[in-house]
Amino acid sequence: MSAAGEGAAEAAAVQEQSPRSGRGGLLINVDNGGTLTDLCVIDGDRVYRTKTITTPYDLAKCLFEGLRKASRAIYGKEDLQALLLATEYIRYSTTQGTNALVERKGPRLGVILGGSLSAAGLQADAQQQSLYAALVGERAQVLDAGLAEEALETAAVRAVNALASAGANRIVVAFGGAGRDSAETRLKRVLLRKFPPHLLGAIPILYSHEVVEDADDGRRAWTALFNAFLHPAMERFLYNAEHKLREYRTRNPLLIFRNDGQSARVAKTIAIKTYSSGPRGGAEGARALAAHYGFRRLLSMDVGGTTTDITLVEDGVVHTERRGRVEGVATSFPLCAVVSVGVGGSSIIKVQDGTIRVGPESVGGAPGPACFGLGGREATSTDAFLVLGLLDPASYFGGELKIDAERARAAIEENIARPLGIGVELAAQRMEQAWTAKIADSLRQYTAITPDTTLAAFGGAGPFVVCKVAEAAGISRVVIPGLAAVFSAFGIGFSDIGHQYEAPLASNDEAGLADCRRVLTERARRGMFAEGADLEQCLVQLTLRIARDGGEESVSLAAGGGLPPGLPGGAHLSLALNAVKPIAHTSLSGRFGQTQVAAQAAGTRRTMVDGQWREVPLYRAEEQAGGAAAQGPAVLEEAFFTCRVERGWRLEINQAGDILLTRC
């Protein structure tokens, strides 16, 4: 990946499979973060990128501002209509759901439990207890599914009224044990009569069996709770954005990039699969990066404004859990094993009981760090890096966002220096140390650090002090993609349009398998038709799920193949059908360790290095020839990220603009 162009709408050229082959058209990838929203527009062998500040009060505003900026980069003038008419697909991901859970900001959930499910059963460990307290609290009611009709109606009305009075604005119904689906269905008929959804003020009610088929009652209930928590914000924004895009006569509906690595229409996407979809984009990019450079074990940290999202690619495979976890709690869906830590460039840093605490609260893009001058008064890591001389107000954010060092100093003085009784510069150093330590500790907690572990650093804040993070984590090699600041958006470009359908076998024999395959094939045919594809155009994969006491295993089935021999008696069998319509992908270029030349400094920057102010060389990444190399200490900068290369580290920039940092 190599950079070219100018300003905050700077273009970046990459080698890739041309999207103009086949049906043709531009491909737009959007990654909406808590502080910044990133866009990549893929046009043949070029990638145009830009960033815009996230507007949490109206996410469509920052989306369209980013699209307008991209049109200026491509056409030399703003022409949103031309851009959208030339676009084949728009793929969108967001960390809004992740951030909402990290910060515990969302709807007040109520829950109606029955059968073998109880509130205590949903709080089996400390993590479940913490999440249950934050999402549900005391808003829980228990119903006896065996009540006669009139008694059930009376009990159901009382339960809903009690939950509404307790402040619930969304209700989840989850029953457990034998007959759970029929019990939920029976209650649904009662509640539709008593609380018809067409009435103003009706509380949305979600039934767990309609969200997912899972024999584990607790896991299914938690999946429904998470989905209910994430659903309202996702629905409001995504349909609003899709409606506005239709006004410009876009070719195809907006596609949502999901945590499972595929994309689909808004109307065909379940809310929980948007959780950590942005980080999954980074994971897909990391997988391509690992394959291209031969990194066997690539640990990635995507540091945005609110969170640091950690993933692992090992032997070419993104670390994924069959029963994916959300904040440590198992769900019914396979999800990328992303850990989102509440630390980013906009994380609030404060003093608590004499100790510096980083996050998880964030100032986001509005009001943003104090140095943004948009009304923020809290101290953040961005303010600290500005005070320590790493950031330059003239070049930050491609020169489009003017940051104010005096506002940063004032926020650090008020929130950190004065409570600790130290000077502002020392306070800023300790802020950096606390910020670095939290990220490094999170990397070590995520996985064992081995000699062959390479750290990939991306996101707008990922490269800042990555050498210090790597040292603290015990890692000696770091790769920074040339498109680091928009790498999750770039990674979305490796996704296709896909859906998975799953259902239990009615009987554990060949007839049961054939019936289930027939039902799923028809569902897939209808589902992919809604995505604009015939099933014959899709790659189809069948997987048999075998669940029994003590675990679960998956067996791939050939087309038309039967049940494998030796199935355990009494096992619960289900069939999953995965249908994928391939679309154009990008590809990578460039190599490390080839012809090397001395990196050309654009001047110097006065910054704090190991507690001392020093004038160090300043290297602008986009101005370097392929094979450029230099030794730290130095500052490496491009339009959307800045990196301090520490003493004892060596940097190399290849022809594609990717950066390798190696500890000497």
**C-beta separation of 387 from 416 below 8 A:** no
Q: Which range (26-40, 349-363, 621-635) has the least confidence?
A: 26-40
Q: Which CATH class is domain 497-581?
A: alpha beta
Residues 6+ apart with CB under 8 A from 550: none
All structural domains of the chain with their residue ranges: 2-101+235-274, 103-232, 347-434, 497-581
pLDDT for residue 397 is more than 80: no
Q: Which amino acid is at 527?
A: G
Report how many helices (DSSP H) and strands (DSSP E) the chain contains, helices first: 16, 37
- Residue 597 φ/ψ, nearest 5 degrees: -130, 160
What is the enclosing helix (H) or strand (E) of 109? strand 109-115
| CATH architecture of the domain with residue range 2-101+235-274 | 2-Layer Sandwich (3.30)
Q: Which two tokens stand for residue 446?
A: 């995520």
Burial of 374 (0-12, 13-18, 19+ CB in 10 A): middle
Chain CA centroid to CA 485, Å: 14
DSSP H/E element including 38: strand 36-43
DSSP state letters, 228-261: HHHHHHHHHHHHHHHHHHHHTT-SSPPEEE-TTS
Burial class (CB in 10 A: 0-12, 13-18, 19+), 587: middle
What pLDDT shows up at residue 182?
A: 92
**Partner residues linked to 114 by β-bridges:** 143, 175
217/224 Cα distance (integer angstroms): 11
pLDDT, one tens digit per residue, over 419-429 is 999 999 999 99
Fold designation for 103-232: Rossmann fold (3.40.50)
Q: What is the pLDDT of residues 31-50, one digit of tens each?
A: 987 778 899 999 877 889 88
- The identity of residue 483, as a single letter, is L
pLDDT for 6: 30
The segment with the largest mean pLDDT, out of 98-107, 265-274, 451-460, is 451-460
Residue type, position 609, single letter: V
Which pLDDT belongs to residue 550? 65
Give CA–CA dist 62/621, Å, rounded.
Answer: 27
Amino acid identity for residue 484 in this structure = A
Please count the other Cβ atoms lying within 10 Å of the Cβ belonging to residue 524. 19
Q: What percent of the chain has pLDDT over 70?
A: 96
pLDDT at 90 > cutoff 80: yes
**pLDDT band at 20; cut points 50, 70, 90:** very low
- Amino acid letter for position 319: H
Structure tokens given for 157: 């009305």
